[in-house]
């Protein structure tokens, strides 16, 4: 590899990146002090090691979406939200349990779009006192309506054993394998669904 290739990457590497699917890792919580950025960063690190897709963290908080249709709400972030979701071929939702369901912020962000979600695959990584299981089951129903194909394997993180004091993320060793098994299902489904969308 020549000097310039080392600096800028080879043409083959560039072509590989372009042909790989884009997977958005969506942070479902937006509150101050949230732990979702820690969980999202961990999933991205594991995913990037695989080298099988272009993984991007997507933070709903960055788009400052008002409630859908809210009078007087500043919806200037809505176009960028549509654009970033349209660019993805698949998703990993980082889901936290709020009152036995998903956050209002994630529900609102899902409601904002329709076509942009459709015919794409998704995996779910959740956390809560019982691993975010109840929120995940609610999300699966919503994703069905949006034509998102969510895979079976579901890493479920416990606030008691995968976090210290419920705030510092320290995942048990077994959880990394679960993320990889989930991605092993998301990537082929993403590839398959690309063929009916593109």
Ligand X SMILES: Cc1cc2nc3c(=O)[nH]c(=O)nc-3n(C[C@H](O)[C@H](O)[C@H](O)COP(=O)(O)O)c2cc1C
Binding site for ligand X (CB under 6 A): 29, 31, 34-36, 96-100, 128-130, 159
> Toward ligand X, which CB reaches closer, 34 or 154?
34
Minimum CB distance to ligand X, residue 98 (Å): 4
DSSP 116-130: TTTTEEEEEEEEETT
Beta strands 168-169; 163-164: pairing state: antiparallel
Separation of alpha carbons 85 and 90, rounded Å: 9
Beta carbon of residue 96, minimum distance to ligand X (angstroms, whole number): 3
Least spacing, CB of residue 130 vs ligand X, in Å: 6
SS3 33: coil
Rounded distance between C-alpha atoms, residue 10 and residue 24, angstroms: 25
Of 84 and 135, the one with the shorter C-beta distance to ligand X is: 135
Q: How far is the CB of 162 from ligand X (least distance, A)?
A: 11
Instruction: State the pairing for strand pair 163-164/148-150.
Output: unpaired
Nearer to ligand X, 35 or 85 (CB): 35
Closest distance of CB 101 from ligand X, Å: 8
Pick 21 or 29: Cβ nearer ligand X: 29
Classified as helix, coil or strand, 114 is coil
State the DSSP H helix or E strand holding residue 24, giving kind and residue range, or none if neither.
strand 22-27
> In terms of CB distance, is 56 or 101 closer to ligand X?
101
């Amino acid at each position: 590899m020549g000097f310039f290739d080392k600096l800028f990457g080879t043409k083959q590497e560039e072509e590989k990146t372009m042909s790989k699917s884009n997977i958005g890792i969506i942070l479902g919580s937006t509150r101050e002090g949230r732990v979702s950025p820690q969980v999202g960063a961990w999933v991205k690190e594991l995913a990037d090691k695989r080298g099988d897709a272009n993984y991007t963290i997507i933070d709903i908080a960055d788009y400052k979406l008002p409630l859908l249709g809210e009078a007087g709400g500043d919806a200037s972030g809505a176009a960028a939200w549509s654009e970033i979701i349209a660019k993805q071929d698949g998703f990993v939702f980082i889901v936290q349990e709020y009152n036995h369901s998903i956050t209002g912020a994630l529900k609102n962000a899902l409601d904002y779009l329709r076509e942009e979600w459709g015919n794409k695959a998704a995996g779910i990584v959740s956390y809560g006192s019982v691993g975010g299981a109840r929120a995940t089951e609610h999300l699966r129903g919503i994703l069905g309506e949006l034509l998102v194909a969510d895979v079976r394997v579901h890493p479920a993180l416990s606030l008691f054993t995968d976090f210290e004091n419920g705030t510092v993320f320290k995942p048990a060793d077994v959880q990394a394998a679960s993320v990889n098994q989930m991605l092993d299902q998301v990537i082929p489904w993403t590839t398959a669904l690309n063929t009916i969308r593109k």
